[in-house]
């Protein structure tokens, strides 16, 4: 039986991934290791907590002794690392914890994976490691060959982790893959990120803060499509390879906010322009042709259908939002 370690499984993407995997592979044995920082929420996994093939372990990926003990005890075949400090604004205010978790934590997981002969180590990374693209060059996209050029302490820590993963593949022959995905949206996202934050504020008739002129462009992918892509890569990806994941759903931040306001039947007067984020990336856009070609991966959602479903999820789960914010 395959034994999988998912780290950061109580966060947004990790918890969606665990639901997806346990649905798809009922015989898979899965351990979720999470430190339960402000972003981790056991409530996301309440419906599966009694599943005999699922186990939650609280712990820190940057605690070497703890990680080695866990690997010794559990005998994993596959490691999928979602655990990270993930919010750019927080990294601007205090980069140090980003280095500790995202860089040192990754290195410790790699060391343990090597020692315990893991079959596949997968690193969940981000398109932000490529830096940004100019707004006036819509013909440009990030490919897997685009040089790493991160802008924020967050993306720098993720780029550093990616380089460590590649080096363990090349130097020690560890079987690794890396995925770099665009911005995700969907259920269970902590309401500090753009989409759930704006939904929450709009529902409460609060001002919706938009950085700068709102023209920065992001490529949005529904979290379900990200989970499907990671599953393909973990099972069929070639060791040592990087795979970009994106949905060709480029939107300015202002377009996203206006879509949320119109869907909720709220007035655009709620929009409030605030000083821009330092070093704010202009445009992210992924070329996903490698994963489309290698695995016939096609996103199920387009932005219009996905955002409506997501807004409805937050409308149906206001208790979840309030519990997360009051934690």
- Chain residues in the site for ligand NAD (CB under 6 A): 7-8, 10-14, 34-37, 39-40, 60-62, 82-86, 101, 105, 124, 126, 158, 181, 183-184, 190
Q: Which residues pair with 132 in a beta bridge?
A: none
Structure tokens at 41: 């929420």
Q: Is 154 a catalytic residue?
A: yes
Q: What is the DSSP string of 106-125?
A: HHHHHHHHHHTT-SEEEEEE
- Closer of 14 and 237 to ligand NAD (Cβ): 14
Report the distance separating Cα 10 and Cα 44, nearest Å: 7
Q: Which residues pair with 80 in a beta bridge?
A: 6, 122
- Closer of 246 and 271 to ligand NAD (Cβ): 246
In the complex, what is the shortest distance from the CB of residue 273 to ligand NAD, in angstroms, rounded to a whole number?
A: 23
In the complex, what is the shortest distance from the CB of residue 269 to ligand NAD, in angstroms, rounded to a whole number?
A: 28
Q: Which residues pair with 134 in a beta bridge?
A: none
Please identify which of the residues 154, 168, 188, 314 carries the catalytic annotation.
154
Alpha helices in 25-152 (DSSP H): 64-74, 88-93, 96-98, 106-115
> What is the number of residues in the chain?
327
Spatial CB neighbours of 155, under 8 Å, sequence gap ≥ 6 = 88, 126, 128, 129, 131
Tell me, what DSSP letter sits at residue 43? G
Spatial CB neighbours of 293, under 8 Å, sequence gap ≥ 6 = none
In the complex, what is the shortest distance from the CB of residue 185 to ligand NAD, in angstroms, rounded to a whole number?
A: 7
- Which residue has the CB atom at the shortest distance from ligand NAD? 11
Q: Is 128 a catalytic residue?
A: yes
How many CB atoms are closer than 10 A to CB 177?
A: 23
- Closer of 266 and 280 to ligand NAD (Cβ): 280
In the complex, what is the shortest distance from the CB of residue 267 to ligand NAD, in angstroms, rounded to a whole number?
A: 28
Please identify which of the residues 127, 219, 225, 281 carries the catalytic annotation.
127
Say which residue the tokens 């430190």 belong to. 35
The answer to whether the beta carbons of residues 147 and 162 sit under 8 Å apart is no
Spatial CB neighbours of 45, under 8 Å, sequence gap ≥ 6 = 9, 10, 15, 18, 19, 32, 54, 56
- Closer of 118 and 221 to ligand NAD (Cβ): 221
Say which residue the tokens 């919010």 belong to. 87
In the complex, what is the shortest distance from the CB of residue 205 to ligand NAD, in angstroms, rounded to a whole number?
A: 26
- Closer of 62 and 169 to ligand NAD (Cβ): 62
Please identify which of the residues 60, 128, 132, 231 carries the catalytic annotation.
128
Q: How far is CA 296 from the centre of its chain?
A: 22
- Closer of 13 and 22 to ligand NAD (Cβ): 13
- Closer of 120 and 218 to ligand NAD (Cβ): 218
In the complex, what is the shortest distance from the CB of residue 300 to ligand NAD, in angstroms, rounded to a whole number?
A: 17
In the complex, what is the shortest distance from the CB of residue 79 to ligand NAD, in angstroms, rounded to a whole number?
A: 13
Q: Which residues are catalytic?
A: 127-128, 154
């Amino acid at each position: 039986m395959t034994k999988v370690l998912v780290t950061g499984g109580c966060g947004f993407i990790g918890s969606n991934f665990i639901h997806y995997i346990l649905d798809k592979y009922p015989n898979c044995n899965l351990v979720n290791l999470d430190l339960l920082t402000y972003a981790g929420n056991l409530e996301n996994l309440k419906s599966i907590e009694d599943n005999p093939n699922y186990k939650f372990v609280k712990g820190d990926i940057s605690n070497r002794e703890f990680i080695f003990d866990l690997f010794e005890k559990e005998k994993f075949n596959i490691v999928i690392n979602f655990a990270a400090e993930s919010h750019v604004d927080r990294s601007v205010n205090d980069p140090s914890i980003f280095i500790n978790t995202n860089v040192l934590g990754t290195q410790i997981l790699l060391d343990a994976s090597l020692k315990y002969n893991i079959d596949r180590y997968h690193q969940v990374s981000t398109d932000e490691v490529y830096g940004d693209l100019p707004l006036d060059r819509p013909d440009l996209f990030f490919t897997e060959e685009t040089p790493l050029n991160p802008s924020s302490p967050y993306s720098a820590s993720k780029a550093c982790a990616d380089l460590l993963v590649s080096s363990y593949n090349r130097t020690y022959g560890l079987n690794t893959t890396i995925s770099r995905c665009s911005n995700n949206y969907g259920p269970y996202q902590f309401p500090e990120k753009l989409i759930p934050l704006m939904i929450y504020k709009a529902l409460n008739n609060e001002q919706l803060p938009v950085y700068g002129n709102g023209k920065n462009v992001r490529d949005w992918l529904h979290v379900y499509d990200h989970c499907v892509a990671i599953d393909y890569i973990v099972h069929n990806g070639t060791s040592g390879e990087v795979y970009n994941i994106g949905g060709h759903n480029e939107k300015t931040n202002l377009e996203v906010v206006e879509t949320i306001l119109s869907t909720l039947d709220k007035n655009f007067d709620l929009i409030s322009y605030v000083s821009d984020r330092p070093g704010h990336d202009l445009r992210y856009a992924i070329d996903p042709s490698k994963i489309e070609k290698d695995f016939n991966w096609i996103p199920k959602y387009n932005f219009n259908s996905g955002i409506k479903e997501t807004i409805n999820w937050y409308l149906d789960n206001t208790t979840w939002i309030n519990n997360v914010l009051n934690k």
